[in-house]
Structure 1
Amino acid sequence: MEPLTILSLITSSFVFFTAYWALLYFKTSKNLPPGPPKLPIIGNIHQLKGAVPHRALRNMARKYGPIMYLQLGQVPTVVISTPRLAKEILKTNDVVFADRPITIASQIFFYKSQNITWSPYGSYWRQMRKICTLELLSAKRVRSYSFIRDEEIRHMCKCLESSARRPVVLRDVLVQMINDVICRATVGDICKDQSTLIDVLFDIMRAVIAFNMASYFPSLQFLNVISGKKAKWLKRQKQLDIILEDILEEHKNNRPSGDNDHEDLVDVLLRIKENGDLDQPITMDNVKGVILDMLLGGTSTSSMTLEWAMAELMRNPDIMKKAQAEVRAIAKGNKIDEADIENMSYLKMIIKETFRLHGPPLLVPRVSREDCIVDGYNIPVNTRIVINLWACGTDPDSWENPESFIPERFENSFISYMGSDFELLPFGGGKRICPGITFGVGIIENVLANLLFHFDWELPNGLKPDELDMTEAIVLSNLPKNPLQVVPVSICLQK
């Protein structure tokens, strides 16, 4: 077929589906929130290309308001940019906005959205979340993982000590160590294909978070085929599935007998599946989806937070010295205990401030289940809702000097990251709040305390603190664009 004919067919299809979409959505659009002017067909997509999304959206919100309507291709989208309106979505109208959008990436990677993060709100979601909360993430279970965390932190410190006075890419060290902890807690052991698993996990994040034209035109999914993205995603999913199948097969052959206290999440899910006493029976794909949730959420969020925390400390030497003085004054002997962490108030302030400035910048999108009114504006059913967490965390009406790293702002503050304070939502809020807060924060606190206790830190090649690149990656905007390189100096070697 001639290239011109192919182009004509694509263009005709594009125009047809766009016209159909326009009739479908614009007929019911009354009193929508304000927003920027739209271009034909693509709407406001062009205003997001090439920029870090949360910053581009915040800049638009300053002009059009804290609740803003965008037409992203065929997807009507409302962007929320202040704590007050985040509360409207996540608390006042939580059930109305409890669904997730259906995307080709979530369908491919998460076994047709059979994980917890992307599954529709309903009985299956409630059932699987309850299993994970009680069986993997309860306070008792989290305490039982402390020996795993402590072992892996000691191993990390030994590796850093062997690299003392030489530059290291801190991201590589953190991702491997945290993935070791998550794998041992979730599947019982470090994954034998760890390097492939970590590569696949970050590819999944890129696929889910990155700008993808086809995701804004649901009727034109062939664009994913033409661009080669679907083939790439399917290849990655096959690699992932082989790893998960190996994990499941090993657990089937080596199940613990009679002692539930020594089960990991995979053992729990297999036991529950075999018992068959659930309201909705689960399949092996359900099990894989939930395992993937744990591996992806635990590895990415914790490692990113720690990298940003260390970057801010390297850029602010006075804060670094104050934090190290606290940690070294409280810790006894040559190790840090759980009780020590509870008394490290400044360390906790640093982590809160890192969450505020460098937590997940955008909440995983939601979709309205019915028509709703928010702040006096109509939000039609099937509208995608994006909450700009970074804009809430830097809202000038809520924070003084909002874009400066000042841990002391939390000294006399009762603001928490547990979902009840909408100025600080690194784990989200409402019914779909992340269930792994205690587990994740426990890892972050312990790792950061040990990094500060055992080592002094320098920048490589004579780099000065104010020269440190804090640019955010556009594709994964909750990561530094350039991985942080630091020089560990063991305090044992200094003595």
Structure 2
Amino acid sequence: MEVFGLLYYHYGVILCLALIFHAIVTKLAANKKFCPRRLPSGPWQLPIIGSLHHLLRGLPHHTMRDLSARHGPMMQLRICEHAVVVVSSAEAAREIFQGHDAAFEQRPSSPGIDDVYAGHNKMGVLFSPYGEHWRLLRRVLVTELLSARRVQAFRRLRQEEAAHLVSSVVSTPPGQLVNVDKALAEFVAESAVRAIFGDMLPDRAAFLRMMRHGTAISSLFDLRDLFPSSRLVRMLPRSQRMRRHRQEVTRLIDDILRHHEERKKAEDAEGEQEQEQEQEHDMIDVLLRIQNDSCTRLSLTPGVINSLAMVLNLTSEIVQHSYIRLFDKQSNVPQPFIGLQAYAYVVMGARA
């Protein structure tokens, strides 16, 4: 028995040594084949969270400035599961976007943004991968939806909304303050919604509240942005709320698309002899016309039209904040706006 036990012991030792030798040889072979990437230096990291603790000391752009002054114009950060390279010099940024633009063509995304704005397999213009589909969507935006001819076609709509804005300001009782931010927000939102959806939106106020809610929840902190591979994080209630919001917006825009298609069929059935461009009352009509065009190479599915409509409505919020910022500058430095103010008084007096 002792002989057999000693024999098994020797066999076990030989097997362990063989496994260790195989692991060492495999590791050495992998190191020879693998060429490590030359990454820039960066601040020290902690397990799991990486460099996240460095970004919690203050405002992110101030923290990035301080870290770049210490580690150079290019530095590496690891934020939980994401490894990023931060570029903080004009020369390096010019080299990236002019000399190596194809290597940095992919757009950053996050699970929260995907739940609210992307969806539909990321086929929207804002978050779709760079390629033929994205170039065709961009061409549709530039040449069809946001062209000079299309902007001129909606001039009457903007004039109506501007006249409504001026009349609401004129009708304000003397001595009562006017909420300029709210008035400008309503002006931009109404103009954008009418240009995109026309008069087929039953409750504009509810739709605008829904879009503002989506923008708010997509900009909040989301653990899925830091740990996208974690199944436990995906089960959080906030993730479910984002999905429900996207489903509500999708259902509403699908109803609008159906109403537009029914109106188009009714106009065709009446045998109107108008030109096709004159029948396009809003941007949804333009997208439906492109969808039905057999010559186009772009497949505008309802999901893609949904994403385009949401992106167009999102740009209205950017314009809204630009207007508000302009009036804030006017209150701080009023001299450049004296001529504009005099012109506004003349127009308001003529309209009154």
Give the TM-score band, short-chain normalised. Answer: 0.7 to 0.9
TM-score normalized with structure 2 length: 0.77
Contact 1:115 1:292 in 2 (8 A): no
Deviations, residues 154-200 of structure 1 (Å, cap 9, x unaligned): 21222233346434443332222111111222222374332332233
**Which residue, out of 234, 258, 277, partners 1:260?**
277
TM-score normalized with structure 1 length: 0.56
Contact 1:117 1:293 in 2 (8 A): yes
278-287 vs 59-68, which moves further: 59-68
In structure 2, relative to structure 1, the CA distance for the partners of 1:142 and 1:86 (3 Å cut) is: farther
In structure 2, relative to structure 1, the CA distance for the partners of 1:63 and 1:148 (3 Å cut) is: farther
What pairs up with 1:226-265 in 2 under 5 angstroms? Answer: 226=236, 228-255=237-264, 258-263=275-280, 264-265=282-283
Hey, what's the Cα distance between the residues in 1 that align with 2:339 and 2:207? 37
Q: Aligned residue for 1:216? A: 226
Q: Aligned residue for 2:299? A: 281
Report the count of equivalent residues: 307
In structure 2, relative to structure 1, the CA distance for the partners of 1:305 and 1:249 (3 Å cut) is: same
The residue identity in structure 2 corresponding to 1:205 is: T
In structure 2, relative to structure 1, the CA distance for the partners of 1:216 and 1:332 (3 Å cut) is: closer
Q: Aligned residue for 1:44? A: 51
Hey, what's the Cα distance between the residues in 2 that align with 1:221 and 1:170? 46
Hey, what's the Cα distance between the residues in 2 that align with 1:181 and 1:115? 23
Q: Aligned residue for 2:322? A: 305
Q: Aligned residue for 2:107? A: 100
Deviation at 1:285, TM superposition (A): 0.7
**Which residue, out of 174, 186, 194, partners 1:176?**
186
The question of 1:326 aligning with 2:339 is answered: yes
Contact 1:106 1:113 in 2 (8 A): no
In structure 2, relative to structure 1, the CA distance for the partners of 1:252 and 1:190 (3 Å cut) is: closer
Q: Aligned residue for 2:24? A: none
Question: Of the two structures, which has the highest relative contact order with CA contacts closer than 8 Å and spacing of 6 or more?
Answer: 1
Higher helix share: 2
Q: Which sections of structure 2, spanning at least 5 residues, go unmatched?
A: 1-33, 269-274
The question of 1:90 aligning with 2:100 is answered: no
CA RMSD of aligned residues (A): 2.9
Deviation at 1:253, TM superposition (A): 1.4
In structure 2, relative to structure 1, the CA distance for the partners of 1:130 and 1:234 (3 Å cut) is: same
Hey, what's the Cα distance between the residues in 1 that align with 2:124 and 2:340? 38
In structure 2, relative to structure 1, the CA distance for the partners of 1:120 and 1:154 (3 Å cut) is: same
Q: Which sections of structure 1, spanning at least 5 residues, go unmatched?
A: 1-26, 336-453, 455-490
Deviations, residues 234-276 of structure 1 (Å, cap 9, x unaligned): 1211221122122112211122664214522211211222234
Deviations, residues 75-120 of structure 1 (Å, cap 9, x unaligned): 1112233443333333322222111234222332222322101010
For the pair shown, which has the larger CA radius of gyration, 1 or 2?
2
Hey, what's the Cα distance between the residues in 1 that align with 2:181 and 2:221? 24
**Which residue, out of 169, 179, 185, partners 2:195?**
185
Q: Aligned residue for 2:9? A: none
